[in-house]
Amino acid sequence: MDIGVPKEIKNHEYRVALPPAGVQQLIKAGHKVRVETRAADHLGFSDQDYRNAGAQICNSAVEVWDQSTLILKVKEPQPGECDYLRADHILFTYLHLAADEPLTERLLASGCTAIAYETVTGRQGDLPLLTPMSEVAGRMSVQAGAHCLEISQQGRGVLLSGVPGVEAGRVVILGGGVVGSNAAKVALGMGADVTILDTSATRLAWLEQNFSGKLTTLYSTADSIEQTVLCADLVIGAVLIPGAAAPKLVSEELVSRMKQGAVLVDVAIDQGGCFATSSATTHSNPTFIKHGVVHYCVANMPGAVARTSSQALSNVTLPYVLQLANHGWRSAFAKDPGFANGLNVHQGQIYCPGVASAFNRTLATLPA
């Protein structure tokens, strides 16, 4: 199969879908790989590294898209990239379509087959292709939030760890999944006072045991969210409904009553955000102030640590890429129903329940 890896063009997105080591494995399997020139310069991988792995270097994105059938990316196609899409393209990347109707319409109009990393499921119902980036984003959320709490960033001037004789900062994490548990790990490591909320009693019990009782666990209700958010210095939004828009757990009215200079980090912003006051920001302009509260809503947080993120992502996506390239997507889906859950769009129809529901569209199903 002809496989293409274009350079990412989203604002401050430095990741690459396939490092040279991944290219080498695909070449050994008999496939052709085309990589846009300088696609991984920020990661320390040169064009020569890709040539040594067996890739053909293309001088433009157009060349990559025109000569490839399977397109591997990290982030959703940007408006200019959508112009390159064809009906015979298989696009494999993060899509987050439930929060982006214009992109959904462009994909439908192209007739392409679009498979989303974030809706592929594992045997236990987990999200294996989302997990590594959730781990990165969860850990980064505390790092970013701690910085935003500095007065120079218009924060409260609170050090999360505190110092002897001064209480630690209060961190509230909404959601106890991969993002939330990784955020808790870093926040506790900093010495913060950590509370994590979730709607799964089983997950809360796991968190209590896994962190040896060092954090507070609460069942998530409107009342418990209100009480904890009002006391917090840093609130991290870590909720996820696979393939669907994130629920708005914190209203604008509640944000207006938070401590002045408190910080909201919305890791759910890719799916529309879980704070009513959230709107997507970028690494070049990561924050805004509303009701005196600092909002950090960068939609591609792991892009800031691109080398770590790209390698972690490729580790989990490459086996799926090999299935697509070796067998074609229909055969690959037939062998792995969890992989089939990644199909979001095909021949102008929507196959992901969360996306269909978000836009009140008909949900298509593949024939048995």
Catalytically active residues are: 96, 270
Structure tokens at 8: 């990412």
* The residue type at 195: T
Angle at 188 between CA 187 and CA 194, to 5 degrees: 75
Chain length of the chain = 368
Spatial separation of the C-alpha atoms in residues 100 and 20, rounded to whole Å: 31
- Core vs surface per residue 175-189: b (16+ CB within 10 A) or e: bbbbbbbbbbbbbbe
Residue 164: helix, strand or coil by DSSP? coil
Angle at 231 between CA 163 and CA 248, to 5 degrees: 130
Contact 329, 296 (CB under 8 A): no
Quickly list DSSP for 224-293.
Answer: HHHHHHHH-SEEEE----TTSPPP--B-HHHHHTSPTT-EEEEGGGGGT-SBTT---BBTTB-EEEETTE
- Cβ contacts of residue 211 below 8 Å, gap of 6+? 184, 185, 188
Contact 195, 206 (CB under 8 A): no
In whole angstroms, how large is the CA radius of gyration of the chain? 21
